[in-house]
Structure 1
């Protein structure tokens, strides 16, 4: 099975599990039976095991505990088996061919699950679209209309109240006009009376002055 998305093991890029499997087989064939894998190759295989810890034997509880890897060869599987030695001395035998087969099976399940998810995506999109459409038609739009109507009512009420206030002031001003007219008339009458009194007083003074001067002349 080919891995469709490129991936990295120990900093090295692979385009498929077949390519990775070939790389690991090349490493294993370098060593003899019971020979311990050297540091560089050990780091590579350890990184590979860390990337798939779910595929390890149930006896291997932590990949980080692996201390060394020893090649195991026999007549049936010359280059596809090895021992994993943990830091506590525990030794676990791994059949490389079965191990890789398990990885491929799990990876195939993951890919199938993703493919199924992508296949269901159009149906999910349609479902979400109709759900949104339902919310839009029956909840969002009516709510917006209700709010807009309330806003219009408030605007109308504001202008109506402003108009009524202006009208009331106009009525009050008109009601005060006769009062102002009467007040103005009273002021004019008082002024006329004052002027008349002043004229009368002036005439009296003039008359008195003439009488005094007339007596002196005689």
Structure 2
């Protein structure tokens, strides 16, 4: 049995230019994910899928391999993560390398740890899921959500307008960090999330979406808090 870590890092980031190699607390943000994958000991190959020479050079500097560059069709704004994963698995297969499991990691997920990857892999194999990925609980009950039309508020689920929060079932969302997949199942469905997917719950402090310039310093501060790096 062999596993591959695939870190998806194209060069054409729009909202935050050069996002995938921007310094995060003094180190390229992609380096954190590479380190976590390497330290987990789960993978016979830790690679970065990119179309960018600078990203490739930095990835190699921190211990990842970049055996080939991503094709233009999987590097544009319309390519999905599943498209990239499929391309990488196919490229390796053409070179005679076949993997049992693959972990597709996002390069801007510095909160990922080797222990979290080990937990995901254990859940994937023990429960025979197609995919396992981290999820976080919504901080407010989604059953009490409202719609807003021309400033008028309406209940999204009116039947729960008077339901106590503690009586509502918790709901979760994708933490946007990684997907650990069974390669055979992925190749059969070409989907990262299937009816046979599993989730591992992480706290609100263990992930942070970085979509704009405001998110960046907030993520750095959370990371420092998580690792006791904040000083008075």
Q: TM-score, length-normalised on structure 2?
A: 0.23
Q: Which has the higher helix share?
A: 1
Q: Which has the higher strand share?
A: 2
Q: Which has the higher contact order (CA 8 A, sep 6+)?
A: 2
Q: Which of structures 1 and 2 has the bigger CA Rg?
A: 1
